[in-house]
Amino acid sequence: MAAAEASTGGGLAAFVSGKNMKVFAAAVSAIAKIGKDLYLDASEDGMMLRALNGSNSVYLAVLFTRGFFTHFEAPSVRDGSPSVRCKVQVKAMQPVLTGIRSVESTRIALAKSGVTSYIIFQHQCSSGAVKTHALMYEDTEVFAAVYDRAQASHNFVVSCRTLDTALEHLGVPQEVFVQASDAGIEFRAHHFGPALGGKAAFREDLAHKAHVEASVSIRADDLERVCVSDTAPGVGSDEDGRPTASFVTTLSEMRAMLEFCRAPAVDIGHLSFYFDSEDGAPILVTSERNEDLGIVVDQVMATIADEDAAGGAPPRDGTSAAPAERTALAAAAEHDDGTPARGPESKRPRPAGH
């Protein structure tokens, strides 16, 4: 890739310390658990890594602000949109992250060799060696899951440590039921087998406790905040008459984000959940903006609607659930100009603004 290095340019110049390169590696590892492609874009504000899973139901974004880098330059664009937009396969990143413990600093830049574009990762190692990786990339449109947290009816904030401990008790279910009230948060795990059941199945299981695999609660005193609107659509009540708001979603992607936040090099303290209680409404899980860390993590996930609301019972023949039963990600991908993304993304419904 010497030819590519010789023509390095493209206006992006980012330098990352060895310590923060471990954070970058942890972010790529989390991305790999969501999708096969890593979308990287850069603007004057910093660098963003994004991923979307194959069923368009989970979106993960990690923003590295300018403070994350020892030096950062990206071309300015008048409207503030990203000036660098590229896509690489996640598996192509694996050699870049091998032996990262010995890296003292990394330079990230763009290069061209003829008509081929490369993103360059150049590691300065503690041994004095310099390792250079040149990965081919595709120019791509920027997409984002757009979610207006200010419009969310309910929210709670929980420490990553407390959430991690709670989820450990749930095993490895396909889905998790989450219910919030002024008393705290309850997580209930259930294995539905080949089909998705939604909230109705969880409510039915309240009368058949033997069907519930695991349940764990976090008291309100152990949360940073819990807010449930008693006037929002879809709100229920518990046995003490307190308003409750709930959703059902998959657990593996939530754990992928949590593992990143809990990584020793990252150590994000708290996560905020924003959601509505209508069936199928998406949820936002975010680390909020932390200038000290220089990173912001956002994950938007589809939720699962009741069988009745989805228009029929799920299949029982061992096939996966029909698309109508798992609500498509309402927080869908859009281009930065607000138009729907093309290709597979065009099937996703338009979200609320973020």
346 is a domain residue: no
In this model, does residue 286 exceed pLDDT 90? yes
Q: Which domain does 124 fall in, by range?
A: 2-145
Same-domain check for residues 101 and 204 = no
Same-domain check for residues 85 and 121 = yes
Residue 335 or 139, more confident: 139
Same-domain check for residues 244 and 155 = yes
Please write the tens of the pLDDT for every residue from 22-67.
999 999 999 999 999 999 999 888 999 999 998 889 999 999 999 9
Structure tokens at 299: 């994950």
Same-domain check for residues 7 and 85 = yes
Same-domain check for residues 137 and 211 = no
In this model, does residue 148 exceed pLDDT 60? yes
Segment holding 181, helix H or strand E: strand 175-181
- Domain with residue 26: its CATH number is 3.70.10.10
Show the CA angle centred on residue 331, arms to residues 283 and 244, nearest 5°.
25
Q: Can you tell me the distance from the alpha carbon of 220 to that of 224, in angstroms, rounded to the nearest whole number?
A: 8
Residue 101 or 1, more confident: 101
Residue 123 or 98, more confident: 123
354 is a domain residue: no
* 53 Cβ contact partners less than 8 Å away, ≥ 6 residues apart: 34, 35, 59, 253
In this model, does residue 176 exceed pLDDT 70? yes
Instruction: List, in sequence order, every beta strand (DSSP E) within 22-136.
Output: 37-43, 46-52, 58-65, 71-73, 84-89, 103-113, 116-125, 130-136
17 is a domain residue: yes
Same-domain check for residues 218 and 134 = no
pLDDT band at 132 (very low <50, low <70, confident <90, very high): very high
Last residue of a domain, which of 145, 165, 197?
145
Same-domain check for residues 69 and 88 = yes
Same-domain check for residues 168 and 312 = yes
352 is a domain residue: no
- What residue has token string 């209508």? 278
Same-domain check for residues 162 and 234 = yes
Q: What is the pLDDT of residue 252?
A: 87
Same-domain check for residues 304 and 186 = yes
Q: What is the pLDDT of residue 39?
A: 95
130 is a domain residue: yes
Please write the tens of the pLDDT for every residue from 247-261.
998 888 889 999 999
Same-domain check for residues 246 and 120 = no
3-state secondary structure of 306: coil
350 is a domain residue: no
Q: Can you tell me the distance from the alpha carbon of 146 to that of 8, in angstroms, rounded to the nearest whole number?
A: 34
291 is a domain residue: yes
User: Could you tell me where the DSSP H helices lie in 172-251?
Assistant: 198-205
- Domain with residue 309: its CATH number is 3.10.150.10
Considering its fold, how many domains does the chain have in total? 2
In this model, does residue 186 exceed pLDDT 50? yes
Q: Are 33 and 91 contacting, i.e. CB atoms less than 8 angstroms apart?
A: no
Same-domain check for residues 303 and 158 = yes
Q: Are 177 and 202 contacting, i.e. CB atoms less than 8 angstroms apart?
A: yes
The CA-to-CA distance between both ends of the chain, in Å, stands at 40
How would you write the chain as a 3-class SS string?
CHHHHHCCEEEEEEEEEHHHHHHHHHHHHHHHCCCCEEEEEEECCEEEEEEECCCCCEEEEEEEEHHHCCEEECCCCCCCCCCEEEEEEHHHHHHHHCCHHHEEEEEEEEEEECCEEEEEEEEEECCCCEEEEEEECEECCCEEECCCHHHCCEEEEEEHHHHHHHHHCCCCCCEEEEEEECCEEEEEEECCCCCCCHHHHHHHHCCCHHHCCEEEEEEHHHCCEEECCCCCCCCEECCCCCEEEEEEEECHHHHHHHHHHHCCCCCCCEEEEEECCCCCCCEEEECCCECCCCEEEEEEECCECCHHHHCCCCCCCCCCCCCCCECCCCCCEEECCCCECCHHHHHCCCCCCC
In this model, does residue 336 exceed pLDDT 70? no
* 207 Cβ contact partners less than 8 Å away, ≥ 6 residues apart: none
Mean pLDDT of 264-292: 89
Q: What is the mean pLDDT of the chain?
A: 79
In this model, does residue 324 exceed pLDDT 50? no
337 is a domain residue: no
3-state secondary structure of 84: strand
